[in-house]
A and B are shown apart, each in its own frame.
Chain A
Amino acid sequence: MAIPKVCGIETEYGIIFKGGDVNPITASSIIVNAFSQGVHDSVGWDFIDEHPGSDARGFSLDDYLFPEFESQLVNTVLTNGARYYVDHAHPEISTPECRTALETVLFDRAGEEIVRRSMQIANEGLPFESEIVLYKNNSDGKGNSYGCHENYLVSRTTPFAQIAQQITTHFVSRQIFCGAGKVGVEHRGIAAKGNSSPWFQLSQRADFFEEEIGLETTLKRPIVNTRDEPHCDPVKYRRLHVIAGDANMSEVATFLKVGTTAIVLAMIEDDEFPEHLVISDPVSAVRQISHDYSLQTAVVMSDGRRLTALQIQFELYEAAVQYAARYGLEAVDQSVGQDVLLRWQHVLLGLKSDPMSVANVVDWVAKLRIVEGFTLRHGLQHDDARLKAIDLQYHDMRVDKCLALRAGLEVLCETDEVLRSMSQPPSSTRAFFRGTVLQRWPHAVIAANWDSVVFDIDNEGLKRVPMPEPLRGTKVLVGELLAMCQTPADLLARIGSQF
């Protein structure tokens, strides 16, 4: 049976410093530090189990990678179990591990509010004419991209080659409902052709994928990333590290992106993925599909058929419905999984009949609606700078500037729940333990990472609590224990074999 699809999202935010000459690494550090200093005590990230150079195909580049000193300058763990840090000259926030797509949306939204709060605190401390502004997007329109990565727990027993081949079909075609939309093209080959390039496309990221599979994340990006760094028991699990997605402003788009991917991964683990549904040339197909917002472009499948992304998605959806009937959806949570299926069908039917009918859930449609309306109202050409400005400002994290906040997007999360999730961890995963001990004993926890917490206990020195199981350390399993312990020493004495 498919294993529970524990998941999470890492978002690198675009950053600009207005009114001064400050480099983006410094500006990003100001942002992350602002939150740590303004809200709570900061606890450092523990790097002992980080192996980003380890490859799922069985070799390691760790010995060849330079240590990333700058990325270790600012690196904090938050009381909601998230990691907030500076990476590659961008502020980045990783949600805590979540048990469902809906919970992932909640913590992605909490991340947005953490970023907003950081901007507010940081800007209060800057000179009057200076301002740091963050953008939840993935490209600057000039060929530079930064990521929004998803992570899913998958079984080590499923062959990686099978996961890679089958999930690629979904990554290439899902952009029709989870693409964030982009004015212009950044792919070198096509941009160079001038007039033949489309003025608008479905995805922020599609222009940047050059390989089918590989370890890279910053150059020659692959559709399937092979980073083998499970952050949990490596004998039982893999963490599928997904780099082929856009950051979404729409909560429903995030819900569908994570929810459908989790279901498709469960199908792959149970060997129920439709084997004929494989795209012949996925690297070209990513761009061809993104570059045609009429959704008419068909790509060649390995069985010789030519299918549009919409047709591929309908076939995947049908297979998922059959899978759910036969196996159930416990791997993704039964009720959330059923909701994913309903919304998946709804968005596909909407895109098929009239894409504008899903302008309240699909980011690229919401953005296109604004850009097309603005073009008509002001009689503009498609290369007018104001259209690109709208594209960028759709993702502006300032409430008074953000266009996505004005686009009428459907909301899934209650505001008070989002605000609470800025400091409270999810109860459903080991993030509950991490977040709760940080809240209770911030001075006794000297470091934490995904799969361990290090305590400094009076008279006993440093004690590491390993957490190799993502679904232990939950509220159900350790909530009572944590509540009855008065001190961290007390906790460590009683903790026994909870993990």
Chain B
Amino acid sequence: MPEQIKKTRQPRSHSETQSDASSATGSQTKSLAVDLDSLLDEIDEVLESNAEEFVKSYVQKGGQ
């Protein structure tokens, strides 16, 4: 099933997208099966440093 879908939709592969992924979407085009360990390594790096303060200060006015 997934192979069939890929053919009709033609999602781009990792290598195809690296060259043109400029300021727009960057890493969204990474390969589909991102290894969990390397993903968690990256999250350790980019996660807001003071999580408690960040979560506390994220307050929104209600919308629709």
Contacts and interface: CB of A to CB of B under 8 A. Distances in A.
Interface of A: 12, 14-16, 24, 87-90, 92, 113, 116, 120, 139-142, 144-147, 149, 217-218, 243, 335, 338-339, 342-343, 345-346, 349, 360, 369-370, 373-374, 377, 384-386, 388-390, 392-393, 399-401, 403-412, 414-416, 418-419
A113 to B, nearest CB: 6
A95 B17 CA distance: 25
A403 B43 contact: yes
Interface of B: 1-2, 4-5, 8-9, 11-12, 17, 20-34, 36, 39-40, 42-43, 46-48, 51-52, 54-64
Closest 9 pairs (CB-CB, A-B): A146-B63, A408-B34, A389-B51, A89-B61, A88-B63, A140-B60, A147-B64, A217-B64, A385-B52
Given A373-B36, A385-B54, A415-B21, 8 more contacts: A146-B61, A389-B48, A389-B51, A389-B54, A399-B24, A399-B25, A405-B25, A408-B34
Contacts of A144: 59-62
A411 B58 contact: no
Contacts of A335: 8
B33 A408 contact: yes
B3 to A, nearest CB: 11
B39 A392 contact: no
7 contacts: A16-B58, A342-B1, A342-B4, A377-B40, A389-B47, A403-B46, A412-B9
Contacts of A345: 1
B39 A406 contact: yes
B9 A407 contact: no
A217 B22 CA distance: 38
Contact of A90 (B2, B59, B60): B60
A146 B15 CA distance: 37
Given A140-B58, A218-B63, A405-B27, A414 B36 contact: no
Nearest to B61: A89
Contacts of B55: 141, 385, 388-389, 392
A120 B23 CA distance: 10
Nearest to A414: B12
Contacts of A116: 23-24
| Residue of A16, A349, A404, A415 ringed by the most chain B CB atoms within 10 A | A415
B58 A12 contact: no
A401 B63 contact: no
B17 to A, nearest CB: 7
B24 A415 contact: yes
A88 B43 contact: no
B40 A386 contact: no
Contact of A406 (B42, B63, B64): B42
A339 B17 contact: no
A409 B28 contact: yes
A411 B48 contact: no
A385 B51 contact: yes
A218 B62 contact: yes
A345 B5 CA distance: 11
A415 B43 contact: no
Contacts of B26: 399, 405
Contact of A218 (B2, B36, B42, B64): B64
Contacts of B30: 406, 408
A210 B11 CA distance: 39
A370 B24 contact: no
A141 B20 CA distance: 36
A15 B60 contact: yes
B60 A392 contact: no
A415 B54 contact: no
Contact of A346 (B2, B57, B58): B2
A234 B55 CA distance: 45
B63 A89 contact: yes
Contacts of B42: 406
B62 A407 contact: no
A24 B5 contact: no
Contacts of B43: 370, 374, 390, 403, 406
Contact of A392 (B21, B58, B64): B58
Contacts of A360: 32-33
Contacts of B25: 113, 399, 405, 411, 415, 418
A410 B5 CA distance: 12
A146 B58 contact: no
Contacts of B61: 24, 88-90, 144, 146
